Amino acid sequence: MSCCAPGTEMALEAEQAREAGPRAEELVLASRSVGDGLKQTDLSVPGVHCGACIQTIETALGRLDGVAGARVNLSTKRVSVKWREGALPPIVDTLNRLGYAAHLFDSVETGRDPVLSQLIRAVAVSGFAAGNIMLLSVSVWSGAEQATRDLFHWLSALIALPALVFAGGVFYRSALNALRHGRMNMDVPIALGISLAYGLSLYETINSGQHAYFDASVSLLFFLLIGRTLDHVMRERARTAVKGLARLAPRGALVIAADGGRDYLPLQEIAAGMKLVVAAGERVPVDGIVMSGSSELDCSMATGESAPQPVKPGSDLRAGMLNLTQPLIVEATATADTSFLAEMMRLMEAAEGGRARYRRLADRASALYSPVVHAAAFLTFLGWMAASGDWHRAITIAIAVLIITCPCALGLAVPIVQVVAARRLFENGIMVKDGAAMERLAEIDTAVFDKTGTLTLGIPELRNADEIPPQALATAASLAAHSRHPFSRAVLRAAGSLRAADAFDSVEEIPGLGIEARAGETVWRLGRAGWSLGSQHENHAGGTVFSRNGEEYATFRFEDRLRPGAKETIAHLKENGVAVEIISGDSADQVKDIAARLGVEKFQASVLPGDKLERMRALASEGRRVLMVGDGLNDAPALAAAHVSMAPATAADIGRNAADFVFLRENMLAVPLARDVSRRAGRLIRQNFALAIAYNFIAVPIAVLGHVTPLVAAIAMSLSSLIVIGNALRLRTDRRLAVGTEAPESAGNNARPFVEAAA
């Protein structure tokens, strides 16, 4: 018979289940398809602390049968595993065997930060203990001897022990877990250094020695915890973009059942096809289509447009948009995991966890540090023992070497810059699929653009509005109001408020030809020249003709509207040494016209998708690093083959999936902005590497020579990490990279038009 109460048994079972991780059925249900017969499972692994942890997990999971790849994000402590559909690999069992407890990752998890709370409590306890021990040490330093000195040392030992156990648990738990599973991490030398400092002091106390270092051991812990806490805070601050996205998702939605009843369901239970009520003041929970109701929405998170946007039945909505004025009935077209908001969060996570060349280099260096650090400390101990014979001094110097050589700064050099850069791009409406893409974008020397939908918006504009008499424009606008044709929409935009009284008896739109209206005996036609004027005028040189009783009343000439910022983007790239080409499937005249307007000398027209792909391969064979910017289905092969690629959010799904960057706003200035942020991030990464290497180059010899105490070593190690993080955060405040406020780097003579266009 169990000695535990039923409630206790249930609690124990729940705790055991949590430690064992999610069941296979839960993992399969929580996984999502990513194409090519692969599924992806996201797990939260709180035990990940350093580069050694990353390499251990990725290597072990990568060796499992059926696993196509594993990626660890240190910032979010998340493991993403791609596996082939069929039998689920033993992912959780492998993580448990390595000593990393795992549970399903909740992308919309909010609330208090438990890690920060734990760190703050540890800092408070260690600081309180260090202050009290320091007061006792003052008495010893002032001349207390023999029994009095021993008493103060024992009191210090009694204060230090619980402080080390409680506050040092942050390091001890991580270190013991690593050692228990036969591996090393950055917390092992820290825990060893703290323990040796306390053990050395306790030995001196037991033997009535004159010197004990309880104040140093606890102060050492205090400063290490301060460094760990500031590191955590700065990481979280850098990741506020992703956390802000998570907060945009409501916890659930009001669902209209088939019988008309209304139930509130959690967000994860909402399925495509459900009818949802989105009240004024609420955010759209998942992507959907308005079924009934009219309102205005704040769409700034999706489009960057700050002005409220009107919506009506048939309008598409994206998760995270804010309903401002009236309630709406919306039909869900996606689940929470496949919504626009979830996709943006995944892109941000991928950008932070990308494995660029520098990131791989830093991870390998961090993973190799443990044997090097311990070997250096041991050799230092042996060297000082041989030189002085003073084991007390030798072990003190070895402790300082253990602490000061911790490569936290090296481990942070790349990921913290990627996090800040991804956030900076996101704030300007640019999503990055992989941190390595930023590295590739900084290397480009050639940019190839598609035309329609990329350099242009695919929206025609009336080019000769100033040549058309106001009365003719007003009458044509009244007729065009009866059509949804793009040319009719262009006439309405050009006319603005100019509109003649609609006195037509009948209006008929004839597909492929135009619009015809009758007012008494008068026949108005707006459309093709041969139809508006009669077959004898089929070779009319004009564009769209507005006729009255077969006689020309006005001729409208249209041109495709350039994407905002297109001219400034091309000028900026060319001025910075990037060769620019246009390659399009449109007619030669159209492509030539756009190329002339943008100042692009090299262009190709009437090309097929295969031709675009061949052009990418030809440029690559010449040693060129090509940026491809396109939006259509026919651009997808070229986007995938390019050195790096970008697509607007309006692109076809396959185009967005093939691109490395997706820009959400209409402005083409996203291209040079992304390049400048990427180049700046690359420079900051190299600076961080230099800072980390310089720190070790200077600090390690000084520590080995015995000029650094363990306490000073702890302060130096923490400061090195904070300097690297602070250097990365400079990217947040670099106004040279802010669209709409300052010109990009090296904008030169194009600075002013760049700013004006962006604004």
Give, to the nearest 10 degrees, the angle between helix 187-206 and helix 357-388. Answer: 20
Query: Do 64 and 89 meet the contact criterion of CB atoms below 8 Å apart?
Result: yes
Would residue 36 show up in a list of annotated catalytic residues for this protein?
no
Amino acid found at 2: S
The full DSSP string for 193-248 is: HHHHHHHHHHHHHHTT-S---HHHHHHHHHHHHHHHHHHHHHHHHHTHHHHHHHHH
Q: How far apart are CA 290 and CA 275, in angstroms?
A: 10
Per DSSP, the residues of 368-421 read HHHHHHHHHHHHHHHHHHHHH--HHHHHHHHHHHHHHT-THHHHHTTHHHHHHH
The candidate with the shortest Cα–Cα distance to 298, out of 308, 289, 288, 290, is 308
The residue written with tokens 């869900």 in the block is 332
Options 150, 450, 586, 676, the catalytic residue: 450
State the Cα–Cα distance between residues 354 and 347, nearest whole angstrom: 10
State how beta strands 32-35 and 67-73 pair.
unpaired
Question: Over the Cα atoms of the chain, what is R_g?
Answer: 33
Q: How far is CA 590 from the centre of its chain?
A: 37
CA distance 684 to 733: 13
> 584 near 556, Cβ under 8 Å?
no
Cβ distance 207 to 150 under 8 Å?
A: no
Q: What are the phi and psi torsion angles at 102 (to 5°)? A: -130, 150
Separation CA 272–CA 287 (nearest Å): 9
Decide: 291 and 329 in contact? Cβ < 8 Å.
Answer: yes
Do residues 441 and 626 lie in contact, with contact meaning Cβ atoms separated by under 8 Å? no
**Residue 332: φ, ψ to 5°:** -70, 135
- Taking the C-alpha atoms of residue 590 and residue 716, their distance in angstroms, rounded to an integer, is 63
The two three-digit tokens of residue 22, written as one number: 């999610």
Q: Structure tokens of 285?
A: 């929970």
Q: CA 315 → CA 34, 460, 648, distances in Å? A: 28, 22, 20
The angle formed by the CA atoms of residues 353, 355 and 357, to the nearest 5 degrees, is 145
Q: Which residue has the tokens 């260690």?
A: 126
- Residue 265, sorted as left (phi over 0), alpha (psi -120 to 50) or beta, turns out to be beta
Phi-psi region of 549 (alpha: psi -120 to 50; beta: other; left: phi over 0): left
Closest listed residue to residue 735, CA positions, set 680, 684, 687: 680
Are 221 and 168 in contact by the 8 Å Cβ rule? The answer is yes
What angle (nearest 5°) sits at the alpha carbon of residue 240, between those of residues 714 and 69?
Answer: 85
> Judging by DSSP bridges, how do beta strands 456-462 and 558-562 pair with one another?
antiparallel
With CA atoms as reference, report the closest residue to 227 among 679, 689, 724: 724
Eight-state DSSP code of residue 337:
G
Backbone torsions φ then ψ of 312, nearest 5 degrees? -150, 175
C-beta of residue 582 within 8 angstroms of C-beta of residue 595: yes
**Please, are residues 175 and 190 in contact by the beta-carbon 8 Å criterion?**
yes
Residue numbers annotated as active site: 450
